[in-house]
Chains A and B, each alone.
Chain A
Amino acid sequence: MPDSGLIADLSYRGYDGPLLPPTHRWWVIARLGVRQAFRKRAYWVVTALSAWYYLVMMAVLFFFERAAQSAPGPRSEAGFEAFLGRIVWKDQFLHGFGFAQLLYLIAALMLGAGAIANDNRSKALLVILSKPCDKRDYLAGKWMGVFLPLLTMMLLPSLVFFLYGALSYRDYGFLDNPWFFPKFLLVLVLGAAVHSSLVIGVSSLFDQGRLAGASYAGIYFLTNFFTQLMVFAWLTAQGFRRGGGRVSGGQSPFAEYVDRLYYLSVDGLLIGLCKAILGTDGSPQFGMPSPIRPVPAPPLLPTVAVAVALCVAGVAVAWSRIRAVEVVR
C-alpha cells in the first residue's frame, strides 16, 4: 500500500507526460493482438507448416536442376526443360495457397476464436470502452489483430517462394507477368479478410473462445463436407475424372452445377477466389503429369462479391453484438 520511504517514494504521483489525441485507438488494440499472436510459438509452427508445398516444390526444382547439371548432355537438359515446361508458375502459388487451407483455419481459430469471446468472458470491454475508444475502434482493432498475423502467415511462405523463383527461374518465365504478385497479394488479403471477418463474427456470439472456435470449425468442416460430397457424387457419375465432364466433350448441366457447388465452402471459396483472380483453372501439382483435371475457375466478379459479402456479414454480426453503452452496468 502507499508508503513513503527514504529509498523509494511509492506514494501516488500524477502523470504529467504527453497524451496522444484521442483518435485511432484501434491501432493500440490491433497492436496488442499482433503482439500476442507473434509471441505464440504455435503461430510460427503453423506458419512454417503452411509453407510445406512451397518447400517441397523448391526441393523438387533444386534436385531436378542438380540432376540435370550432374549428368550434362542434351537428354538431361531437354528433360529438365520439359519438366519446367510443364510447370505453370502461378499455379504453384495456387497449390501453395490451396494446400495450406487447413493450416489457415487452424491459425484463424488460434488467433480469432477468443478475440471477442474471451473479452466477453473477462468483461474486457468495461476497461477498453472506458478509455477514449468506441465500438468502431474496438472492432477495427480486434479485426486487424487477427487479419495482420493471418496475412503475415499467408504471405511469408509465398514471398520466400517468389524470391526463390524470381532469382532462379526468371529465364523460364517466372517474372513474365508483372501483375502476378499484386494479384496474388490481393488473393491473400481477401483470404485473410474472409477468415478474420468470419471468425470475429462467430467469436462475438460467445463468451468462451473454445465454443467460438468449435463453432467456426464446425461451419468450416460442414460446408467443406457438403461440397466434397457433391464433388464425389459427380465424380462417381462421371467416372472419377474431375473437370466437370469437359474431358469427354459436352458438359451436362448437372456437372456444371456441381462445379459451382465445389466452391460453396470457406476453403472452396478461397481457392475459387485464387483461381479467379489469378486467371487459372490450375494444373497438376509439382509439374507431374496427372490424368485428373482440375475444377474450372469460378467467375471472378460473383466470387469476389461473395467473399466481400462474407466479410461484411461477419463484421456486421460482431458489430451488432458489441454494446458500447454497456460499459457501465
Chain B
Amino acid sequence: MVASLQNLTVRYGSFTALDSLSAEIPEGCVGLLGPNGAGKTTLIKTMLGFLTPAEGGGSVLGLDIRTQGREIRQRVGLMPEQDCHIPGLNAVQFVAFAGELAGMPSELALRRAHEVLEYCGLGEARYRNVETYSTGMKQRIKLAQALVHGPRLLLLDEPTNGLDPRGREEMLDLIRTVSHGKGVNVIVSSHLLPDVERVCDHVVVVSRGKVTEQGAIARLKVIEGRPIDIELKEESPEFVRALRDLGAAVEAMGLVLRVRLEGSAEQVSATIFRTARQTGAQVRGLAVAQRSLEGVFEEAVRA
C-alpha cells in the first residue's frame, strides 16, 4: 500500500473538511476524483503532513502523517496545479535547487536535473529562464522538479491543465510511463475523467469529506450481471423479440441493445449469433457492457 488512512477527520474551525475518511491507496497509478469542495485538497495537505488530523490517522509510504511530515515530503514529489517557479533561475538551476531541497547533494542534484529535464522534454530549453516558458513548458518543469529526487510517490494536481491536445497526450504518456514499471506510484487529482481513465488503474472518489468509492477502474466499470452490448446495422424488432423469447432482458439504446442472458460468455455469444442469423439481423459489434468512469463517478458522488 502507498497510503493507508483510517477514520481521518480534519476540521477548519467548525467546518469538517474530512469526515472520518478511510482509504487504502494501492501501488500504481491512482486517480483522486471528487467535485469541488469534496476534500481532495485537504486530503493531499494532510497526506503531506501540513494539516494535523483532529481524529484518526494514517501513513504514507509507511510514515506517520502526524509526526513524519518532513520524511514524507522527502519521499514524495508534488506537482502543484498552479504555475510556480523560483524567480530568477533557469530550468537547470530550478530543478537542481528542488533536488537540493529534497536532500540531494548539490553535484548529484545538478546532474540529475539535466537528466530529468531531458526526460520531460525540456532538454533544449534547460538554460532558459523559467519565467519565459510557455504554459506547456511550465507544466513539464513542474513535473521535472517533482521527479528530480526520485520520489516513490508522485502527487499530480491537474497535470494537464492548460495543455494543448498534443501536449496533453505527451503529458499523459509521461505519467503513464513513470507510473508503470519504473517504481514510482502516482496519485492524479483531476477533474478530467478521460485523463484519469487513460493513465490510472485505480480511483478513489471523495465526496463531502468521505470516500464514496474506491477500487480498480476495471472492476468499478463492471455492470452487475455482465450484460452484453450488441450493435446492429439497423433496427430489428424480430431479433429483440427472439432474444426475449429466450429469456433475455433486452434494453434498447438506439442501434445498441444491452442484453442480459444466463450462461457463460461463450454460450451467450453463440446464442446471440444464432438468433441473429435466424432473424436476419446484422450484428456490427459485440462487447461486454461497461459503465463509463463518468457514470461511476456520478453514482459515487450521489451516494
Contacts and interface: CB of A to CB of B under 8 A. Distances in A.
Interface residues of A, number: 43
Interface in B80-116: 80-88, 97-98, 100-105, 108, 112, 115
Interface string A300-329: 000000000000000000000000110111
A164 to B, nearest CB: 36
Contacts of B221: none
Interface residues of B, number: 54
Contacts of B174: 1-2
Contact of A327 (B48, B77, B83, B103): B48
A121 to B, nearest CB: 7
Given A15-B149, A22-B70, A22-B73, A128 B182 contact: no
Contacts of A133: 70, 73, 101
Nearest to A120: B87
B45 interface: yes
B173 A124 contact: no
A122 B84 contact: yes
A197 interface: no
A324 B45 CA distance: 10
Contacts of A124: 84-87
A66 interface: no
B134 interface: no
A11 interface: yes
Chain A interface mostly = loop
A95 B121 CA distance: 56
Contacts of A14: 150, 182-184
30 contacts: A1-B121, A11-B177, A12-B119, A12-B177, A12-B184, A13-B182, A14-B150, A14-B183, A15-B112, A17-B108, A19-B104, A20-B103, A21-B103, A29-B101, A122-B84, A123-B84, A123-B85, A126-B84, A127-B84, A127-B85, A127-B98, A128-B101, A129-B50, A130-B80, A130-B146, A132-B101, A327-B45, A328-B45, A329-B41, A329-B81
In order of increasing CB-CB distance, the 3 nearest A-B pairs are A15-B150, A130-B78, A131-B101
Interface of B: 41, 44-45, 48, 50-51, 69-71, 73-74, 76-78, 80-88, 97-98, 100-105, 108, 112, 115, 118-119, 121, 123, 131, 145-150, 157, 170, 173-174, 177-178, 182-184
